[in-house]
Amino acid sequence: MTGFEQHGGCRGAAPGLSDSKCSGLLSRVGSSVGPERGRARPPGTMAGSDTAPFLSQADDPDDGPVPGNPGLPGSMGNPKSEEPEVPDQEGLQRITGLSPGHSALIVAVLCYINLLNYMDRFTVAGVLPDIEQFFNIGDSSSGLIQTVFISSYMVLAPVFGYLGDRYNRKYLMCGGIAFWSLVTLGSSFIPGEHFWLLLLTRGLVGVGEASYSTIAPTLIADLFVADQRSRMLSIFYFAIPVGSGLGYIAGSKVKDMAGDWHWALRVTPGLGVVAVLLLFLVVREPPRGAVERHSDSPPLNPTSWWADLRALARNPSFVLSSLGFTAVAFVTGSLALWAPAFLLRSRVVLGETPPCLPGDSCSSSDSLIFGLITCLTGVLGVGLGVEISRRLRHSNPRADPLVCAAGLLGSAPFLFLSLACARGSIVATYIFIFIGETLLSMNWAIVADILLYVVIPTRRSTAEAFQIVLSHLLGDAGSPYLIGLISDRLRRNWPPSFLSEFRALQFSLMLCAFVGALGGAAFLGTAIFIEGDRRRAQLHVQGLLHEAGPTDDQIVVPQRGRSTRVPVASVLI
């Protein structure tokens, strides 16, 4: 928590103070920030230092307007505006040193790599029945493949989050993706008696994803602002469902063409080499947070890692939106791994497909169809969510979390119906999956945008990292294994048959609908705090609000031409 709110505002510091006196004090203290910028600060009050005062006041306090940034407290312009001044294309080019075309090209490269990451992740799901046959494993071990990968990715994310806030992000991504490509290629040569080695290599693949997913969104945030940023993030997050769908498609089609599922794991490493070259040649490191600061605002300096964690833990919008995103990760992780296998078992029960027997190649079109559905629903859902949110923001500042809540709460019943109808009609199952995944995909870009505007630039990679940790720790790190474990436990109590295999997986997947509803409730909670947290982050970036240290209960009050630090309580009396 930052600024005056750390002490509960003036009402928290002096409970007996009336509302009118409280608001008057805040008006006088807040309105004087602009004139002070032209003067040298007294010793001990340098911008960005941990002990810097969080509010300052001019020598001649005046309740009237003062020069400054439109839309900020004490500035000329609209005092009620909640949005900072947005630079135009020429202003962005001057700040970042990159032309609009070059910035768009950087986003295109980042989108390509994001698509490649998710394509690799779900190639395994596209050939999962063949992997089960090759290594002779059950559902719980199959779920463990994804769980090991996500767990590694989750553990390494904070490391790259810390590095991404302090070092060159371009080179961090280059190294991670090169390592990931080599490990993925190596995993395609593992013999059938060494399943543990496949788990190890899938865990090492998490290095590449952690180095990229925690850093890439912060690059986009440092290139664009406001609606431009939302549009670019929506393009970036289109790559998640599209890449996931392409993973299913590439896995199943390459396996069919080569006659060996191992070749499905050899496609993305070659494309990874191209990704490293594009990163090295095209991407340039923009200055952190510069596009959100006014030209005369002090630069932002990184704080300690523990200070970052404390601030994030005290940011309710970040915490609650991360919990909501955790539900999204739980549902998508479960469906991503198990939906093709579930659809295949459904067709076997309906008599539309012969069963997959040991030693045979599992031939089914469900991975291809589910991949196409994932691509289409992802593009439709991400675009629909961003557009609805953009239109509603003008009339409702809580539009982002409300749209996320509506998407999750709306998807839950359709996912439940898709499972319930699978034994009667595979067509109805596909229709309900299509609707449910479209509503679920509405969250991707919006959640990323929420994080970027409620967290200051110098701790965004850390915030991305810990959102990844939380969402995967409680979401898709364990959900594929949990679904497989429940399925295996249910089958123990039933006679062995293809019907019992189908029913066990059907009942275990129904957990996803209930988790989705809980995620919708978390986003509703986010809507309560989103306005205040966004405003505090904006004021911090503009240099109008600084964090106080744990024992810092002082503000700066001018005394005859110089600023003096005095206790907050003495000003409020």
- pLDDT value of position 96: 66
The CATH number that domain 304-542 falls under is 1.20.1250.20
Q: What is the dihedral of CA 223, 226, 229, 233, to 10 degrees?
A: 150
Return the CATH superfamily for domain 87-291: MFS general substrate transporter like domains (1.20.1250.20)
User: Which candidate, 33, 128, 74, places its Cα nearest to that of 342?
Assistant: 128
- Per-residue confidence at 132, pLDDT binned at 50, 70, 90? confident
**Left (φ > 0), alpha (ψ -120 to 50) or beta: where does 260 sit?**
beta
pLDDT band of 422, cuts 50, 70, 90: confident
Nearest in space to 481 (alpha carbons), one of 133, 127, 137, 114: 137
The pLDDT value given to residue 567: 44
Q: State the Cα–Cα distance between residues 476 and 329, nearest whole angstrom.
A: 5
Task: State the amino acid at position 236 in one-letter form.
Answer: F
Mean of all residue pLDDT scores within the chain: 74
- N-term to C-term CA, the chain: 24
Q: What is the spatial distance between Cα 501 and Cα 488, in angstroms, rounded to a whole number?
A: 8
Amino acid 101: pLDDT: 80
C-beta of residue 161 within 8 angstroms of C-beta of residue 462: yes
CB-based burial label for 217 (10 Å; 0-12, 13-18, 19+): buried
Q: Where are the domains of the chain?
A: 87-291, 304-542
Structure tokens that stand for 210 in this block: 């952690």
Between 293 and 350, whose confidence is greater? Answer: 350
In this structure, the chain runs to a length of: 573
Could you tell me which of 534, 163, 459, 458 has the C-alpha nearest to residue 309?
A: 459
Per-residue confidence band for 439, with pLDDT thresholds at 50, 70 and 90: very high
DSSP state of 442: G
Output phi, psi for 565, to 5 deg.
Answer: -85, 125
Q: Which of 317, 570, 300, 573 is nearest to 467 (CA)?
A: 317
Residue found by looking up tokens 């609000």 in the block: 545
Cβ neighbours, 10 Å, residue 497: 11
Per-residue pLDDT, averaged over 566-572, amounts to 41
Q: What is the pLDDT of residues 57-116, one digit of tens each?
A: 333 333 333 333 333 333 333 333 444 555 555 666 666 667 778 888 888 888 888 888
**Cα–Cα distance list, 37 to 46, 52, 67, 295 (Å):** 12, 14, 11, 11
pLDDT of 4 strictly over 60: no
Closest C-alpha among 264, 100, 263, 279 to residue 178: 279
Torsion angle in degrees (nearest 10) through CA of 93, 94, 95, 99 = 20
Token code pair at residue 312? 């994030």
Topology agreement, domain 87-291 and domain 304-542: yes
Q: In Å, what is the CA distance from 360 to each residue of 50, 125, 131, 558?
A: 65, 18, 12, 82
Q: What tokens appear for 175 in the block? A: 């190294």
